[in-house]
């Protein structure tokens, strides 16, 4: 039984790697084509606020400046993309698409007037999707995975600040918009994927809250009854006083 469970889990992990692996293979094939054909496809990147180059929203992640640029995006895409596919088996393709489109569209809106290329925006989108999901859901396994991402790629935070890379023309807009896309997508799909388990004490707390509310209602009800009783006594007392005055007058 344990062996069967292990095999099922291994198969799930392997299946989770496939989508991000396909993306990475396409990245490498595009770069190989550029190298062996001695051409540059950078002009097919994203050119902000240019309606004729709007297709760059889709083509930007598949283009890279050099081998170093491609290599730096390969492993993060593989690791984080596989993690997203693993935890969101039914929705991973929508999550990919949301991050893909939102990051590209926002970069097209606010980016500098130059060609933006590379999958770094997707890397930031994946990273911040995982981090935001861990904070929202508080699922132990997802939180552990997010800590691994922080440990391995925590330095990506400096990619928001171009002054730290004075000799590199980085697309900080793409990085920032990728992060924004990741957080938005995490909120959008917070009700999908792994969810925090509820334990017996969680239900006990809820019951205690309910008991407190019920007790408060009873106290309020008894207080109302006491006030009503006091009012009725006061009314009766007033009636007795009036009758007494009348009787005393008759006696006179």
Q: What is the pLDDT of residue 9?
A: 83
* Confidence (pTM): 0.77
- The full length of the chain comes to 252
Consecutive 10-residue averages of pLDDT for the chain (252 residues): 76 93 97 95 95 95 94 96 95 96 96 94 98 95 96 94 87 96 97 80 56 54 59 48 34 40
Domain count, the chain: 2
159 in the same domain as 106: yes
pLDDT at 112: 92
CATH number of 157's domain: 1.20.1540.10
DSSP secondary structure, 151-188, as one string:
HHHGGGGGGG-GGG-TTS---HHHHHHHHHHHHHHHHH
Tell which of 188, 219, 234 closes a domain: 188
How many whole angstroms separate alpha carbon 41 and alpha carbon 26?
14
Is the residue at 193 inside a domain?
A: no
Domain that holds residue 218: 198-252
Largest Cα span, the chain:
129
Question: Angle CA(189)–CA(194)–CA(198) in degrees, nearest 5?
Answer: 115
Residues 204 and 177 in one domain: no
pLDDT of residue 239: 43
Say if residue 100 is in the same domain as residue 216: no
């Amino acid at each position: 039984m344990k062996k069967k469970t292990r095999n099922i889990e291994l198969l799930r992990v392997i299946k989770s790697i496939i989508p991000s692996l396909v993306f990475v293979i396409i990245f490498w094939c595009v770069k190989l084509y550029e190298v062996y054909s001695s051409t540059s496809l950078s002009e097919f990147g994203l050119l902000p606020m240019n309606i004729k180059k709007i297709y760059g929203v889709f083509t930007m992640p598949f283009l890279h400046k050099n081998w170093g640029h491609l290599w730096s995006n390969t492993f993060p895409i593989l690791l984080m993309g596989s993690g997203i596919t693993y935890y969101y088996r039914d929705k991973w393709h929508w999550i990919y698409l949301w991050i893909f489109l939102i990051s590209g569209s926002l970069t097209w809106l606010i980016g500098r007037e130059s060609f933006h290329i590379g999958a770094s925006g997707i890397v930031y989108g994946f990273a911040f999707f995982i981090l935001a999901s861990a904070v929202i859901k508080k699922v132990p396994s997802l939180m552990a995975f997010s800590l691994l991402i922080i440990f391995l790629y925590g330095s990506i935070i400096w990619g928001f600040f171009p002054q730290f890379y004075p000799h590199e023309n980085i697309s900080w807009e793409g990085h920032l918009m990728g992060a924004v896309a990741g957080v938005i997508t995490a909120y959008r799909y917070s009700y999908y994927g792994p969810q925090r388990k509820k334990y017996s004490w969680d239900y006990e707390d809820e019951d205690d809250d309910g008991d407190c509310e019920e007790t408060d209602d009873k106290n309020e009800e008894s207080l109302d009854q006491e006030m009503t009783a006091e009012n009725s006594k006061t009314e009766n007392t007033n009636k007795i006083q009036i009758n007494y005055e009348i009787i005393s007058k008759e006696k006179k």
